[in-house]
């Protein structure tokens, strides 16, 4: 994995966490320019800082860099849903209704 790929991952996971570079800089007590340099591949965080960033972003190094498939827990999913606007919530509801209409869920519903 090259510097540009690492930079792109760092930027993506920050954006997925809905944090700005300025917010992250305040959380880790580093200049915003440092965060920017990591996200452009000009430099890289040390290992301890990388772990700290992933923790702030709500992920792990393994998941962020593709070494482990993430398992979304119910509280994590609810937290994400709570950030959506009403139109997006309608889309989510429609998708959930569709999934629940599938036969694998109908069978478990009949057992209840």
Do residues 21 and 50 both lie within one domain?
yes
pTM of the model: 0.61
Q: pLDDT value at position 108?
A: 53
The alpha carbon dihedral of 28, 32, 34, 40 has a sign of positive
- Measure the CA dihedral 95/66/21/44, to 10°: -170
Write down the residue that tokens 């040390």 correspond to.
Answer: 46
Q: pLDDT value at position 14?
A: 96
In a domain, 49, yes or no: yes
Q: pLDDT value at position 70?
A: 65
Q: pLDDT value at position 52?
A: 96
25: exposed, middle or buried (C-beta count within 10 Å: 0-12, 13-18, 19+)? Answer: middle
Q: What is the mean pLDDT of each run of 10 residues along the chain (112 residues)?
A: 93 95 97 97 96 94 83 82 90 90 71 50
Q: What's the total number of domains in the chain?
A: 2
The whole domain housing 48 covers: 3-64
In a domain, 18, yes or no: yes
Do residues 81 and 100 both lie within one domain?
yes
Do residues 7 and 53 both lie within one domain?
yes
Q: pLDDT value at position 74?
A: 84
């Amino acid at each position: 994995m090259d510097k540009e790929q690492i930079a792109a991952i760092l930027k993506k996971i920050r954006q997925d966490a809905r944090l700005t570079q300025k917010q992250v800089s305040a959380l880790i007590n580093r200049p915003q320019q440092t965060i920017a340099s990591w996200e452009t591949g000009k430099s890289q965080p040390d290992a301890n800082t990388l772990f700290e960033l992933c923790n702030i972003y709500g992920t792990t190094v393994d998941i962020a860099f593709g070494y482990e498939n993430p398992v979304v827990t119910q509280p994590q999913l609810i937290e994400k849903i709570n950030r959506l606007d009403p139109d997006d919530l309608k889309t989510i509801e429609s998708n959930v209704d569709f999934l629940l209409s599938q036969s694998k869920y109908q069978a478990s519903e009949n057992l209840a």
